[in-house]
Amino acid sequence: MTVLSETKPPSLLSSKDIPSQERLIFALDVPSIKEAKRLVNDLGDAISFYKIGLELFMSGNYLDFVGWLKKKDKKVFVDLKFFDVPQTVGSAIKQLRQYGASFATIHGNDEIMKAAAEQKGDMKVLAVTMLTSLDDGDVKDLGFKVNIKEIVLSRAKRALEIGCDGVISSGLEAPELRDKLGAKFIIVTPGIRPLKNTDDQKRTVDVEQAFLNGADYIVVGRPIKDHCGFNTPKEAAISIQERIGKLFDAP
């Protein structure tokens, strides 16, 4: 009698040369630069990569704050989801290059993505596929005739062919992206909920599942800022870093 050995699916855990500490990106969604600086100082060496988005942009002195983070040896993810006519987006990306951001997000059609890719320089341009606050019901309401997975795969494929460096994708769609498009491009997964989710994010996964599904980086905001179950944001961040370390740093 022949006994068939159990076969396991290939690992989707990222093999890119990224320090495990940098795989956690903290979403610095606060209303003022003053509060942002206080949080950065409080978090100390627990966080080395920050995402700064529209809320902080509207508070003023956004680009000065990018420079402040860089002087503290932090990496910066500019999450402004540039979306305009192609020439304007290309010009904006070209302007942003001088500030030393590592990542920037763009949204839109092929020509918009192409314009951004042509001007990105050493900065990584990431295409937004589908916001994690949307589910299939929302997509149907918006008039799409296909489901979220099909939209995400289509957008990601086009973005990579055009010259973007990666995509923003829910952890739920990441496995299919890896299967269909390979391992070379960057996947950044937002909407991470280390504990049970109770907010407006609909397509969420936890820390381990995001990476096991193929993410290179995860973005965590409220679970660190609100430090549920922990005494401080730093304690919450360290807890997540320890979970990431067990995945990537274990012998």
The maximal CA–CA distance of the chain, rounded, in angstroms, is 73
Q: Name the active-site residue from 37, 70, 75, 81.
A: 81
Give residue limits of the domains in the chain.
Answer: 20-248
- The answer for residues whose C-beta is within 8 angstroms of residue 36's C-beta and 6 or more apart is 28, 30, 52, 56, 65
Structure tokens at 47: 């966080």
Instruction: Name residue 174's amino acid.
Output: A
d(CA 248, CA 251) in angstroms, rounded, equals 9
Specify the pLDDT at position 202.
Answer: 46
Residue 23: which of 199, 173, 248, 250 has the closest Cα? 248
Specify the pLDDT at position 170.
Answer: 86
For the chain, list residues with pLDDT below 70: 1-10, 130-147, 195-204, 251
pTM of the model: 0.87
Specify the pLDDT at position 146.
Answer: 57
Superfamily, domain 20-248: Aldolase class I (3.20.20.70)
Contact in structure between 180 and 12 (CB atoms under 8 Å): no
Note if 37 is an active site residue.
no
- Residue 44 carries which DSSP code? G
Specify the pLDDT at position 216.
Answer: 97
- For 107-122, how does the pLDDT look when each residue is reduced to its tens digit (9 = 90+)? 989 999 999 999 999 9
Q: Which residues of 24-43 are buried (b: 16+ CB within 10 A; e: fewer)?
A: bbbbbbbeebeebbebbeeb
Specify the pLDDT at position 147.
Answer: 67
